[in-house]
Chain A
Amino acid sequence: MPDLSNSSRRSFSRPCLAKSARLQIDPVSGKPVLLCQEAVIQINRTGYEILLQCDGTRRVTDIVEELETRYSLAKTTLFREVSEYLEQIDQRGLLQWS
């Protein structure tokens, strides 16, 4: 289980992909990947949609609201899943917060 102690503290912070990270579609598999200095991280569509919004202008709550329009999930569930996901990416040093 990822550590969620930061998730509520960060709900109004704005995540941004680190300068050294890049999100793109792998032309061979057609699936999204997150590229950083020494890794190719395979991610799923939902992860891709979350990370696409990590541009430093949206708060975590904004991202959750946006996803609410696309997924038929309760807001609390979405919030938990988005926070967990961002925490995983943050643990790898691939997010900056403002």
Chain B
Amino acid sequence: MELAHRPYGLLAELTYRCALHCPYCSNPAKGEKQSELDTLEWRKTLHDAAELGVLQVGFSGGEPLQRRDLEQLIQAARAVGLYTNLITSGVNLTEERAARLLQSGLDNVQVSFQAAEPGLADRIAGVPNAHQRKLRAAEMVNRVGLALSLNVVLHRFNIDSLREIIALAESLGATRLELANTQYYGWAYRNRSLLIPTRAQVEKAAHIASDARQRLAGRMKVLYVASDYFVARPKPCMNGWGHRYLTVNPSGFVLPCPTAWEIPGLRFETVRERPLAWIWTKSESFNRFRGTEWMPEPCRSCPQKEIDFGGCRCQAALLTGDPANTDPACEFSPHHRVVREAADGRVGQFAIDSCSYRQNP
């Protein structure tokens, strides 16, 4: 069986609970308290995902370490042949747990950092000593022999210290460093006017990252994710809607991407209600923006439509009110002005502390 639309990657959002309060979190800002899938439900989901063709699972959240059954879920994923990655803040990791994660068959750990300077990092996370605990977590990961990668979300308040951030990742022995400009969904959208960097900041950062990528080739892979607010073209979001990736959120809703939850007017199903394969192949939500037939102009006649897939549906919904519009990050979108004005509208001095910090649902 070879599916035209075959999922390769599953993002398993085990919980929205998290010890940190980062104001750029992409979790839903209007979080309702819902009942989390239990161990058995997740095991079945992992099994069904592998049957559907998934080869990789990222355990994410919130903070997946808050789930006591994480080790069981890693074992279950490995038992059905999935590559396993843990996406964590690291703050509650102990060395015993790191060893158990390795024994369970975990392939990679991605630890997030907020900045290189501890004071700033803790102010961004909204938690005292978070940075120090992350440093310890990274050391534990190395000590038990797990592969370590780092992720740092970039914004106005940390992007100027990119060199120090890269040096930190080198000193921690990371094999990979992902430098991701903030994407403005969820809490980040709420805080956009404070978090968005200036065009000059973004351009300088891109150069620094590019130099580091060359300098560190073969030692540490440096990945720089540009902000679509500044590049005039939309990102090829999820490689196309319902094409290669799926997300299952803490209460079991199956989504084409983690933020699709916030698109008004789309109805999503949970793994409690329907088999995963049905949701992937048959549900209205997964078929709504598949392929290119749904596209309006200017996408419909655009030579780039198989390259960027019309950009991001969540962003179109958020910024134009209609998820079926061309992503306004595209310079050809009739709504592009809203993105350009946000990107160029930064004046004055702002403090990170003025942001709305992420709350737990």
Contacts and interface: CB of A to CB of B under 8 A. Distances in A.
Given A19-B146, A91-B217, A91-B218, A40 B55 contact: yes
B119 interface: no
Contact of B81 (A20, A27, A36): A27
Contact of A19 (B85, B145, B219): B145
B153 to A, nearest CB: 16
B176 A37 contact: yes
A93 B6 contact: no
Q: Which secondary structure dominates chain A's binding surface?
A: loop
Contacts of B28: none
Nearest to A95: B218
Contacts of A90: 218
Contacts of B108: 19-20, 36-37
Contact of A40 (B1, B56, B221): B56
Contacts of B81: 24, 27
Contacts of A36: 83, 108
Contacts of A78: none
Q: Which secondary structure dominates chain B's binding surface?
A: loop
A30 to B, nearest CB: 10
A22 B85 CA distance: 12
Nearest to A96: B175
B55 to A, nearest CB: 5
Interface string B180-221: 000000000000000000000000000000000000011111
Nearest to B219: A93
Interface in A16-39: 18-20, 22, 24, 26-29, 33, 35-37
Q: How large is the interface on A (under 10, 10 to 19, 20 to 34, 35 or more residues)?
A: 10 to 19
B140 to A, nearest CB: 15
Nearest to A6: B218
Contacts of A29: 2
A20 B149 contact: yes
Given A33-B55, A35-B55, A40-B8, A20 B220 contact: no
Contacts of B149: 20, 37
Interface string B321-359: 000000000000000000000000000000000000000
Interface of A: 18-20, 22, 24, 26-29, 33, 35-37, 40, 90-93
Interface of B: 1-3, 6, 8, 50, 53, 55-56, 81, 83, 85, 107-108, 110, 145-147, 149, 175-176, 217-221
30 contacts: A18-B147, A19-B107, A19-B147, A20-B108, A20-B147, A20-B149, A20-B176, A22-B107, A24-B81, A27-B50, A27-B81, A28-B1, A33-B55, A35-B55, A35-B83, A36-B83, A37-B85, A37-B107, A37-B108, A37-B149, A40-B8, A40-B55, A40-B56, A90-B218, A91-B217, A91-B218, A92-B221, A93-B176, A93-B218, A93-B221
Given A20-B107, A28-B6, 16 more contacts: A20-B175, A22-B83, A24-B81, A27-B50, A35-B83, A36-B83, A37-B85, A37-B108, A40-B8, A40-B55, A91-B217, A92-B221, A93-B175, A93-B218, A93-B219, A93-B220
Pairs A-B, 5 closest by C-beta atoms: A20-B147, A19-B147, A35-B83, A93-B221, A20-B108
